[in-house]
Structure 1
Amino acid sequence: MSNFLIVGGGVIGMMTALQLADAGLDVTVVERGVSGREASWAGGGIVSPPYPWRYSAPISSLSRWSEGFYPELALRLLEETSIDPEYRQNGLLYLRVEDEEKALAWARNVGKPLERVGADFLYAKEPNAVPGCDDALWMPTLGNIRNPRLVRALRARLAIMPRVTLREGVTVIGLTREGARVVGVETTAGRIASDQVIICGGAWAAELLATVEVRLPVRPVKGQMILFKAPPELVQRVVLMDGRYVIPRADGRVLAGSTLEEVGFDKTVTREARESLWQSATRIVPALTACEVEHHWSGLRPGSPDGVPFIGRLPGFDNLHVNAGHFRNGLVLAPASTRLLVDLLLGREPILDQSPYRPGC
């Protein structure tokens, strides 16, 4: 029997497992598919909320801590697995920002580099951006990571750690409770017991917790994205405009996203979304009109009432914990939210005050 059983093998579950194993504890991760192939794989990889000044203080606190951690994590995973998560700190350009003064005031308050730049600066940084912009906002420290490679690297690292057991292709059917304890996790491979159970099930977290009559307000929110096969350096950094973005990869490919759809657990990709994303992307970078759309996919974000994740032990339980509800920012917030939970689990001084994230509050 392991010390910790983690339900859900996305970036939240895998980062939690990595830290617990680093601390010398035995961990089992149960994932119904292949670890990292749901929302963690489907996102864009920007290591910041899209417009960070529009988010609440609890999200900003997690985001700032996580952003500083990603360079270290990427280097560690490259060294230990030979898989490069492709963390790149190329900065971000915001075009046509309506609340520019609010953005600049936020940056001053949190000490974040953000400045208004003119057209000469903009087109020197991004020559293929939409013509006719007089100015932009520039955040030089913003990084992005190639999230499919990040989750591959995390999975590869966990697979060779002796204290970690990955059980993939195993679906959790429900939890069994006796008093204040979860005594078993019922799966398609039989019951699994553990001292402590952590629910990192993303959009499915609420369904899992409902089996022990816990009501967690987390719901699926579909997002669709497309990928252009573009020549190298057509786009050199993340560019946001009118709520949509383009993200370059090291090989030249360019992601464009994303939609926000309240359609339950339906992951069907649609022609309407593809056209909308294509129109947005080619407005931001007109040269993309000459590039093939290589791939179109969707994922399910774990939506929560204010986008603030639930992190910690669930009320009424001694050994049931949750880390879910990150909405659009699961990858952004993963390092800090998992570190906070592991601090709480191990009785360490937490990196942040848990109060805003405590389940049931």
Structure 2
Amino acid sequence: MSDVLVVGGGIIGLLTARELAEAGADVTLIEMGETGRESSWAGGGIISPIYPWRYPEAVTALATWSQHAYPELAEALLRETGIDPELTPSGMLVLDMEEHSLAVSWAERHGHPIEAVEGAHLHEIEPQLGTGLTRGLLLPRIAQVRTPRLTKAARRSVEERIQLRENEEVLELLVDSGQVTGVRTPDGAIQARRVVICTGAWTARLLEQLGETPDIAPVRGQMILFYGKPGQINHITLHREQYLIPRRDGRMLFGSTLEHTGFVKTTTAEVKEALYRAAFEMFPVLKRTPIEDHWAGLRPSSPSGIPFIGAYPGVDGLFINAGHFRNGLVTGPASARLATDLILGRTPILDPAPYAVDAAR
């Protein structure tokens, strides 16, 4: 019997399992497919919420803790596994000036450097930007990670320290007299003293048997990948709700959509064309840059974007760490540490009240 059973092998589940293992817990992680292949793999990897000033303080607190933790985490993963997550301080350039005062106020309040850039200076730091774009705000400390490399590194870092069960779906939570005792899969029962649900968009579906489910639902996001050259574009760039992320090797991600399609994860030609047009309007050079890939993922939406982290009411030993919406990668390290603190009864890194399953959102 394991001390803790982690259900779900995305970045939230992997980092939670890693935190628990480092604390000395005997951990089993179970994933219905391959680890890290859902929204974690599909996401862009910006280590900041998109337009961070729009989010509640509870999201900012998780993001800020994680931003400070990422350099040490990326270095540790590289040392342990030989896989570089490619943590890159690209800086984030925001071209939507309607929220200038709100953004500046937020940055000053939270100690984030921010500077206005316009005219010749804007096109000096980002030469390929469309000529019609003349003003922006630069947050120079915002970084990015390469999400497939991060999830691969996280998996490899735990595979020798935990019991890892992939391609095995949890069919039922096992509860006896108000106490969780494990889960049932097609292969039988798996016993555990505590269970933490890290199943992203599938969380509410899994918890239906208990009656009360957190308000988490899938929201599809599509993005395209350009096969560019290193150094063509320098910054993570946001404009009109969409973003471009330049990788070290020259590839550039552009996305993303917000589509309420249930658990349908297929891509569409219409969205691909719309993303392509928006991308080359932002950076005309992309009209001459081949598209290498186009994919979709399902984000786990939650009210106000505040994730559910903590004990499930009425079932001893059952915990949730899910519902991170668009911010699973930026808030992942803090969410994993906070969940581990609560599971093991340690002093939490942050006030857990805003993330409680029954907290108002």
**Residue in structure 2 matching 1:264, options 245, 262, 265:** 262
Secondary structure in structure 1 of the residue aligned to 2:60 = helix
Give 1:90's aligned amino acid: S
Give 2:38's aligned amino acid: E
The 8 Å contact of residues 200 and 323 in structure 1, kept in 2 or not, is answered as: yes
Is 2:105 aligned against 1:105?
A: yes
Give 1:145's aligned amino acid: V
TM-score (norm 2): 0.98
* Separation of aligned partners in 1, 2:15 and 2:46: 17
Partner of 2:247: 249
**Residue in structure 2 matching 1:344, options 342, 345, 352:** 342
Cα drift, residue 236 of structure 1: 1.7
The 8 Å contact of residues 114 and 138 in structure 2, kept in 1 or not, is answered as: yes
Identity of aligned residues (%): 48
* Separation of aligned partners in 2, 1:85 and 1:134: 33
The 8 Å contact of residues 171 and 187 in structure 1, kept in 2 or not, is answered as: yes
The 8 Å contact of residues 245 and 253 in structure 2, kept in 1 or not, is answered as: yes
Secondary structure in structure 1 of the residue aligned to 2:218 = strand
Secondary structure in structure 2 of the residue aligned to 1:172 = coil
TM-score (norm 1): 0.98
Cα drift, residue 338 of structure 1: 1.1
Cα drift, residue 21 of structure 1: 0.6
**Which deviations, in whole Å up to 9, do the C-alpha atoms of 1:48-69 show, x marking residues without a partner?**
0110011111111111111111
Partner of 1:286: 284
Partner of 1:60: 60
Partner of 2:25: 25
The 8 Å contact of residues 181 and 194 in structure 2, kept in 1 or not, is answered as: no
Question: Which deviates more, 219-228 or 111-120?
Answer: 111-120
Partner of 1:328: 326
Note the 1:306-321 alignment, pairs <5 A: 306-321=304-319
* Separation of aligned partners in 1, 2:23 and 2:294: 39
The 8 Å contact of residues 201 and 323 in structure 2, kept in 1 or not, is answered as: yes
Cα drift, residue 332 of structure 1: 1.1
Give 2:124's aligned amino acid: A
Partner of 1:50: 50
Cα drift, residue 176 of structure 1: 2.0
Secondary structure in structure 1 of the residue aligned to 2:273 = helix
Note the 1:18-167 alignment, pairs <5 A: 18-161=18-161, 164-167=162-165
Cα drift, residue 143 of structure 1: 0.2
Cα drift, residue 130 of structure 1: 1.4
**Which deviations, in whole Å up to 9, do the C-alpha atoms of 1:181-220 show, x marking residues without a partner?**
1223011221101010000000001111112223211100
**Residue in structure 1 matching 2:204, options 203, 206, 211:** 206
The 8 Å contact of residues 87 and 146 in structure 2, kept in 1 or not, is answered as: yes
* Separation of aligned partners in 1, 2:273 and 2:243: 15
Secondary structure in structure 2 of the residue aligned to 1:15 = helix
Partner of 2:356: 358
The 8 Å contact of residues 97 and 242 in structure 1, kept in 2 or not, is answered as: no
**Which deviations, in whole Å up to 9, do the C-alpha atoms of 1:249-299 show, x marking residues without a partner?**
111000001000001000010011101111111111110011111100000
Give 2:146's aligned amino acid: R
* Separation of aligned partners in 2, 1:202 and 1:111: 31
Cα drift, residue 24 of structure 1: 1.1
Secondary structure in structure 1 of the residue aligned to 2:253 = strand
* Separation of aligned partners in 1, 2:187 and 2:71: 38
**Which deviations, in whole Å up to 9, do the C-alpha atoms of 1:138-169 show, x marking residues without a partner?**
101000000110000001111122xx011001
Secondary structure in structure 1 of the residue aligned to 2:279 = helix
Cα drift, residue 343 of structure 1: 1.1
Partner of 1:9: 9
Secondary structure in structure 2 of the residue aligned to 1:232 = coil
Partner of 1:178: 176
The 8 Å contact of residues 94 and 239 in structure 1, kept in 2 or not, is answered as: yes
Question: Which deviates more, 2-11 or 345-354?
Answer: 345-354
Cα drift, residue 99 of structure 1: 1.0
Secondary structure in structure 1 of the residue aligned to 2:142 = coil
Cα drift, residue 118 of structure 1: 2.3
The 8 Å contact of residues 89 and 144 in structure 2, kept in 1 or not, is answered as: yes
The 8 Å contact of residues 119 and 136 in structure 1, kept in 2 or not, is answered as: no
Secondary structure in structure 1 of the residue aligned to 2:225 = strand
Secondary structure in structure 2 of the residue aligned to 1:306 = helix
Cα drift, residue 134 of structure 1: 2.8
How many matched pairs? Answer: 359
Secondary structure in structure 1 of the residue aligned to 2:347 = coil
The 8 Å contact of residues 176 and 212 in structure 1, kept in 2 or not, is answered as: no
* Separation of aligned partners in 2, 1:118 and 1:276: 27
Secondary structure in structure 2 of the residue aligned to 1:99 = helix
**Which deviations, in whole Å up to 9, do the C-alpha atoms of 1:109-144 show, x marking residues without a partner?**
111111112223222221111113332101010000
